[in-house]
Amino acid sequence: MIFKLKRGSHYQGDKKFMKGDTVESSHDLVTLFGKEKFERDYPAEQKAGIATINKPNIPSPVAKADVDKEPGEYGEDITSEFSTAEEAEVTVFEKSNWCTVVDKEDGEVLNEKKLRRKDIEPFLEQYLTDEDVDEDVDGD
């Protein structure tokens, strides 16, 4: 495999490579040193007659996640990860590692400030407790 050195220097054996140099290696230097330092040089491999598989067209995890999730205003629906969410009749969304709890019936946001995942179950348990108290008061 042939790689292009994108930054810094690289030593292979007794040879020193500098930024912009091409480096031939049997090891995947991108995996070993990161895509910030190396990139695979497919055109150079083809010119050198090295048999290569076409550059894989694998979407980045972020791009794939965006397509799969299609997050709405509040982010990705992660309700199924919380056992009490169904009982509380709420939907839990996550966006940028912050969660929002929304009432399924009227779409009202129930948490005053955004929560972390670890805070969702305690929030829902408190919400259910408060809801039971409200029902007792209304029932009297």
Q: How confident is the model at residue 77 (pLDDT cuts 50, 70, 90)?
A: very high
Nearest in space to 1 (alpha carbons), one of 44, 54, 57: 44
Q: Quickly tell me which residue has 């090295």 as its tokens.
A: 50
Residue 2 · residue 26 · CB < 8 Å: no
pLDDT of residue 107: 87
Q: Which residues of 83-96 are buried (b: 16+ CB within 10 A; e: fewer)?
A: ebbeebebbbbbee
Tokens for 7? 């930054």
Section 89-114 average pLDDT: 91
What is residue 31's predicted lDDT score, i.e. its pLDDT?
Answer: 82
**Would you state the pLDDT for residue 132?**
67
Question: How high does pLDDT run on average in the chain?
Answer: 79
Residue type, 101: V
pLDDT for 42? 79
pLDDT tens column, 27-50: 888 888 888 888 888 777 777 776
Is the separation of the CB atoms in 14 and 29 below 8 Å?
no
Residue 24 has pLDDT above 70, yes or no: yes
pTM > 0.75: no
Residue 69 has what pLDDT?
41
